[in-house]
Amino acid sequence: MRTGILFVVVAAALAVGIDSGRAADDAGVTKAVAVLSSTKGHDVSGTVTFTKVEGGVKIVADVAGLTPGKHGFHIHEFGDCSAPDAMSAGGHFNPHHMPHGAPDTSVRHAGDFGNLEADESGKAHYERVDSVISLEGADSIIGHAVIVHEKLDDLKTQPTGNAGARVACGVIGVAKP
Ligand code: CU
Ligand code: ZN
């Protein structure tokens, strides 16, 4: 009798476990995050979140420790921030072999987010819904890196926007929805 009850409890617990696992798979990845760390010689920090919304992915970035003004802001190809200057992250994330461009045009790297603009205290807030990037599938941004640059992205110089050195880097990972 006691064994019978135990069996039912264990079976019910397993069923719930399997069920919630399936539910998570069905929803897919709906949120991602990158925590930015400074490259050598800088003191930049911040967080970038990516949330699936109607019409694309909402990007929200809060970054501190910048010089006032505009700073190039991109996803780069490799999720590798290990080099002191973050050059290990490679070039701009560009799965469709497009030229570099502005974020609001169709001719751009998938990773082209334009610029962050820091105020006098060195803080920048960026918020935009992007219709090019994706959190799932072959072109998913998960596992790639977010980079913030020293200088502004002029949105036209190939293939980098002439944004200069990399001041912060963070790898994009799956976040709790
Ligand atoms: Cu960049
Ligand atoms: Zn680019």
pLDDT of 3: 53
Active-site residue, from 42, 108, 109, 144: 109
Tell me if residue 26 is catalytic.
no
Other Cβ atoms within 10 Å of 168 Cβ, number: 30
Task: Please check whether residue 113 is in contact with residue 100, taking contact to mean a CB–CB distance below 8 angstroms.
Answer: no
Nearest to 57, CA basis, from 175, 141, 152: 141
Tell me if residue 74 is catalytic.
yes
CA distances from 114 to 8, 14, 20, 149 (A): 57, 48, 39, 11
Q: What separation, in Å, do the N-terminal and C-terminal C-alpha atoms of the chain show?
A: 42
Centre of ligand 1 to C-alpha 141, Å, is 14
Q: What is the pTM of this model?
A: 0.85
Ligand with minimal distance to 160 CA = 2
Q: Which residues of the chain have pLDDT under 50?
A: 1, 6, 9-10, 12-24
Q: Which CATH number fits domain 31-174: 1.10.10.10, 2.40.30.30, 2.60.40.200, 3.40.50.2300?
A: 2.60.40.200
